[in-house]
Structure 1
Amino acid sequence: MATLTISSKNYSSWSMRGWLLCKMAGLSFDEERVPTDDPDAKAELLLLSPSFLVPRLVHEDVTVWDTLAIAAFLNEVFPEAGLLPADRAVRAHCLSISGEMHSGFANMRSALPMNIKAHYPGFKVWAGAQADIERIAAIWRGCLTAHGGPFLMGATPTLADAMYAPVCSRFTTYDVKLDPECEAYRARIMALPLVQEWIDGALSEPEELEELDAEF
C-alpha cells in the first residue's frame, strides 16, 4: 500500500498536482495530511520555500517528493498509465512545459494564490502576473494546436495537464479572462471527475488558514 502526504486541498497547488498524478496512474494509496501549522506546510502555502516535502509519496520501500520526481517514479511503475507520452518528441514537449510550470510563473503564483473556495469576479490582475497568464495561454494554445487536444498532449491527460490543473483553478477563482480556446481547455480540466473529487475535498475542509489571506 502507498501513502501520499499532502497539505490543504483548498490552498495547496502542489498537493493537488501530486494527488492527481497518483490518481491518474491508477495507484491505490492512503492520504495523510500534514497539519496546516506544520512549518513545512506553512512554508509551501506562503510561497516562502523553494523546496518542501509535500506532496510526498511512500510506495513500498521508496520515498519520493517533488512533483516532477513523483511523476517520473509513477511513470516507471505504471508506464501503461501514460503520464508521459510514448513519443519522444511529444514527451520532450510535455516535460518542457511541465518544467516551466514547476520553476516559473512566480508573479502569477503570488498574485493569484490557490483558493478553491473563493471567487473574485472582476479581479484586477497586475501587469507582472498578466504577463505570466499570457505565457500560460500561449503554452496551452501551442499544445492544443500541435497535439490536437482535447488535452495538452493529445487525447488523454498527462503530466502536463496535472501540472496546469491548479492554474485552471486559479483562473476560475480570480475570473481570469481567456480566449475561447483556452477558456474551453480550462473548463474541460475543471470538469474532469478527478478534479471535481479534489474540489469536493477542498470545499469540505474547515477554515483553518484565514490568517494567511493577507500574507499570500
Structure 2
Amino acid sequence: MTLDTWWVHCVSPTTLRIAMGGDHIDPAAYLLKNDDEETLLYQIVRGMAVDFSAKRTNNLQQWRQLLSDAITASANPCHLMFIYGRAFTPFVQFLLYFTKNWAEFKRARYDFNPIVRLWASELKLAGVDLTHYGAKEKTLYTSGVVNLDLSIYVGLEKSGPGYNPDQGGYLEFHFLSLEYNSNPQDWRLWVSNPIDELVGGLGEIAEKGEEIMPGTWID
C-alpha cells in the first residue's frame, strides 16, 4: 500500500505483484484495508489511470488482469475510502490520477467523458454489470456521500523537482450528473466548465500552457 504512485513514474503491475508475494495474489488480499479504508483495488486503479494518461500500453494487459482478479475476489468497485474526512470511490481516484497529467487533459479540451468511458470499458472487461454499478455509483453522489467536485492542477511546471502548485493554480469542476447504462460509450459525466467562466489569469494559463522565454534552454 505504500508503493509510490505518481503520474510520471507509477508503480508497475509487475512490481505490485512482486510486492504482494509473486505471480499469485491471495484473493483475501484484495479485501484488506488500511487506516483510510483503502483497499488494493485503489492501488490498481491509480496505476491504470497513470499508464493510460501517459499512453503507456505495455502494462495494459497486466493491469486488466489485476483488475479482473480483484473483481473476481469480490472487491467492491463502489468501496469508499476516506482522506481528511472526504469520501472517495475507485472511479473518483481514476479521474483524479488520470487528470494529474493535465497537459493530456487540456488536449482533450477538459472533457471528462473519454476518461469516464475508458473506466466503464475496463470495468465491463473485468466482469462488472455496468447498469447495476452505475446506479450505485450515482447514488453516492446524489445522496451527498461522495463529493465529486474535482480540483485539477494547471501550471507551468507539471512534474519533477521544479513542480510547485503555487506557480500555477487549480480549475474547479463541479459535478452535475452522471449518465450510465450497459454500453460504456453511452456514459457521460456532466460537470460545470470553469474555462467558460474565467477571463484572464488562470484561464489564460490553462489555455496557453507552458511558455518558453527567449534564450531559455529547452530540454
TM-score (norm 1): 0.28
Query: Which structure is larger by alpha-carbon Rg, 1 or 2?
Result: 2
Greater RCO between the two (CA within 8 Å, min separation 6)?
Answer: 1
TM-score (norm 2): 0.28
Which structure dedicates a bigger proportion of its chain to helix?
Answer: 1
